[in-house]
Amino acid sequence: MNTNKVAVITGSSERLGRELAYLLSKGGYHIVVHYVSDDIEAQKTVKSITNRGGEAISVKADLSKSQDVQHLVDATLKAWGRWDVLINNASVFHSTGFEDVDDQKWDYDYAIHAKAPFFLTQALYTHRKEHSYKESGVVINITDTQVQRPTISRPSYYLSKADLSYQVSLLAKTCAPYVRVNGVAPGPIIPMSEKDLPYFNKREELNPLHHLAKVEDVVQAVDFLICNQSITGVVIPVDAGEHLL
């Protein structure tokens, strides 16, 4: 069995997920770059890691499909024979109001934000329990600081992300001592487009610290939770104080 630790980061072909992949690769982890459709960006992430002397593979999987979730697990273990860290980062963020939510939108949000993370955590737990590792495995759920004070514009998004947040405390109890489960709840960090800039500017003015959290702030919080062997069952808000409002 390969003795290098292995990390799976869902949604890691770009944006925050890519930076998390770089973080763990720098720490010596072999990286599974998960993506759903953008082969070009996924390969960019893999190539950047390997150019820096790291090891990485890309795995395409639609996390709304159970067979693809299992494919991600199987591909990870086939490549390196072990699995140490899971970061549930994959997310979909659409402005679908209450009256426009239908079965399909509801099921998709819950599949990506709640169901897939649950079953991936279950798979990591099963793997760790079956092997004699000295340290606990680690799950980090990337939630959203606004699940505590959601807007009305994205009900299925916030409800499913709230489920992901709740999984932290529930699964931390369930998976101990084989796996530690924690979460990071970012505030706004990366605009999806220029039309989001007015909202970001407003948040910057309203936040107690009068700035927005940066990507590197979220990455540092994830790194801390991975490294500290005595923390489980907590969600750290990284939002420049937005959760205090």
1: pLDDT confidence band, cut at 50, 70 and 90?
A: very low
- The yes-or-no verdict on residue 126 having pLDDT over 60 is yes
pLDDT in tens, 8-39: 999 999 999 999 999 999 999 999 999 999 99
CATH topology of domain 6-237: Rossmann fold (3.40.50)
Q: What is the pLDDT of residue 40?
A: 97
Q: What is the pLDDT of residue 34?
A: 98
Q: What is the pLDDT of residue 191?
A: 66
3: pLDDT confidence band, cut at 50, 70 and 90?
A: low
Report the range of poorest mean pLDDT among 92-106, 113-127, 128-142, 206-220: 92-106
- The yes-or-no verdict on residue 67 having pLDDT over 70 is yes
pLDDT, the chain, mean: 94
The per-residue b/e assignment along 63-86, b for 16 or more CB within 10 angstroms, e otherwise, is bbeeebbeebbebbeebbebbbbb
pLDDT in tens, 167-206: 999 999 999 999 999 999 999 887 666 677 777 788 888 9
Contact 89, 9 (CB under 8 A): yes
Query: What's the CA gap between 195 and 191, in Å, rounded?
Result: 8
Long-range contacts of range 28-31, CB-CB < 8 Å, 24 or more positions apart? Answer: 28/4, 29/4, 29/5, 29/54, 29/84, 29/85, 30/2, 30/4, 30/5, 30/6, 30/54, 30/55, 30/56, 30/79, 30/80, 31/6, 31/7, 31/55, 31/56, 31/57
Q: Is 176 exposed, middle or buried (0-12, 13-18, 19+ CB in 10 A)?
A: middle
* Interval 67-77 mean pLDDT: 98
- The yes-or-no verdict on residue 122 having pLDDT over 60 is yes
Report the percentage of the chain scoring pLDDT > 90: 84
Q: What is the pLDDT of residue 153?
A: 86
Residue showing tokens 């737990």: 125
- The yes-or-no verdict on residue 84 having pLDDT over 60 is yes
Q: What is the pLDDT of residue 106?
A: 95
Q: What is the pLDDT of residue 151?
A: 84
